[in-house]
Amino acid sequence: MAKKLFGTDGIRGTANKWPMTAENALQIGAAAGRYFRNDGSNGHRVVIGKDTRLSGYMFENALTAGLTSTGMNVLLLGPIPTPAVGLLTTSMRADVGIMISASHNPHHDNGIKFFGPDGFKLSDAAEAEIEALIAGDILPVQPNNIGRAKRIDDGRFRYAERLKSTFPHGMRLDGLKVVIDCANGAAHRVAPEVLWELGAEVIPVGVSPNGFNINEGCGSTNTRAAAETIVAHGAHVGICLDGDADRIMIIDEKGVVADGDQIMALFATRWAAQGRLAHDTLVATVMSNLGLENFLESKGLHLKRTAVGDRHVVSEMRSGGYNLGGEQSGHIVMTDYGTTGDGLAAGLQFLAAMIETGAPASALARNFDTVPQMLKNVRFNDGQDPLGAASVKSAITAAETAVQGRGRILIRKSGTEPLIRVMAECDDDGLLTQVVDGIVAEISAVTAA
C-alpha cells in the first residue's frame, strides 16, 4: 500500500494537526503494539525517548496509552538523543524503540521515529504493515494483559558510557576548550557531561530548554551563536548538534563552519590510512558536494550515493558491508559505534583527530574545495504537485542542458516538510544562480496559481 503517514524519517508534522495529534499517536502506539506483540505474551517491551519540545509530553502519554492497551510494556527514557534510543533498544532487549522528535524542525513540529529490535530504523515494509493496522480496527487486550509503564532514570548515563567507549582508550581532552551547542534539545545534559568527563574545558550553548526554544537561534542549523562564542572565548573548536543530536556541524577556532561532507572526508581518509574503512568506501547521498566525490577519487577511495535520508544511507551500508556514511546536513553514521547518525559520537572522533595530529580544527575541517552549490526551497500547499507542471519540467530540462558537463541539477520533495528543494552545482557561479532562480521562479508561479 502507498504510505500516507510515514515519510523519509518516520511520521512528522505540526503538533495538534494531523498526523501529529494525540488521538493519532494513541492509534499509532496501539498499531505498533499489535505489530510487535505478535505471540500474545506479556513479555514484550518498548523504549520511548523524546527531545525537549513541549508537545513531547502529550505524545509520550498518548503512545504509552496505545502501547499498553495492546499489552506492551513501556520503558520511558525521558529527554535523550535519538542515537541513545537505538542503543538502548538493543541493550534493554526491547522489541521496538520510539523517538519522539522532529529533529532540526522548530518547536511547533514533532515526529515519531521507530527502531527495530536490532537498533536500526524500521524498514519501509514494516512501516507499511503498521500503517495498515492503523487503518483498521485494533483490538485491545483483555484487562489482565494490559501492559505496564515504567520510567528509566539512568538512560542517559548508559548512553554516556557507550559514547566514552568510542573514544580512544587512555586519551583525554585536557587542554582543549570546546564549545558545545546542544540546540536546547535532547543532548543538553549528556553532551556537556561527556566532554567534561573526558577532560575538556566545556563552554555550553543551547542548554536551557523551555519547551519552545529547541533549534531556535542555535544548533546545527543556526551556528552563529556558537561561532561567536568560540571567537569570544578563544575556544579550540565548536560542536553543534541539532534538536535530537543525530546531526553535527563542526566550527573551527576561527568561527568557520564545516558541514557533514568535510567531516566525512576527514574520517574516510583517516580510517582508510588506519585500515578501518570497509571496502575503501564512503556512503553519502545525492546531496553531497561533487568536491567530496573528486577528493575521495584522488585518494583512491570510493563514494556510493543514495537517496536523501539517513535511513537510505544506513540501508546501503548494511547491504554492502560499509561502516562509514552520512549526509551533508550532518548525519554521520558509524556502524562500528552505533545504528544511526550520532552527532556527539562524530564530534568525539573529530576531537580525537585533533589530539592525535596536534592540528587545529581549521586544518582538519578543510579537506577539499567545494564545487559551488546552491540550494533553495519552495513551499507548496497540500494537494499540489508543482513538479508535474509542464512549465516546471521544461525549466528543469533547460537547466540540466545548461550545466551538462559542468555540474548537476537535483530537484526533490522534502520528506519531512511541504517543500520542493532545488539544488544545483556548477563551476560557474553566474550560471549556477541563473539555473536555480529559473527553476524556483517556475515552481513558485505554479504554487501561487
Positions marked catalytic: 103
DSSP string, 11-27: EEEETTBTTBSHHHHHH
**Helix crossing, 190-197 with 343-357: angle to 10°?**
20
DSSP string, 79-125: E--HHHHHHHHHHTT-SEEEEE--TTS-TTEEEEEEE-TTSSBPPHH
Give bridge partners of residue 424 from the DSSP assignment: 374, 409
- Residue 172 backbone phi and psi in degrees, to 5: -130, 165
Give bridge partners of residue 241 from the DSSP assignment: 248
In the three-class reduction of DSSP (H, G, I as helix; E, B as strand; rest coil), residue 324 is classed as strand
Give bridge partners of residue 388 from the DSSP assignment: none
CA angle 174, 180, 184 (to 5 degrees): 150
What is each CA distance from 119 to 265, 278, 335, in whole angstroms? 26, 21, 11
Give bridge partners of residue 375 from the DSSP assignment: 423
- Going by C-alpha positions, the residue among 396, 378, 376 that lies closest to residue 446 is 378
Task: Judge residue 118's burial from the number of C-beta atoms within 10 Å of its C-beta, 0-12 exposed, 13-18 middle, 19 or more buried.
Answer: exposed
Q: From CA 362, how far away is CA 231, in angstroms rounded?
A: 13
- Nine-digit cell at 216? 531556535
- Quickly count helices (H) and strands (E) in the chain: 14, 18
Is 44 in contact with 37 (CB distance < 8 Å)? yes
**Contact residues for 20 (Cβ-Cβ < 8 A; gap 6+):** 11, 12, 13, 14, 55, 59, 109, 110, 111, 112
CA gyration radius for the chain?
22
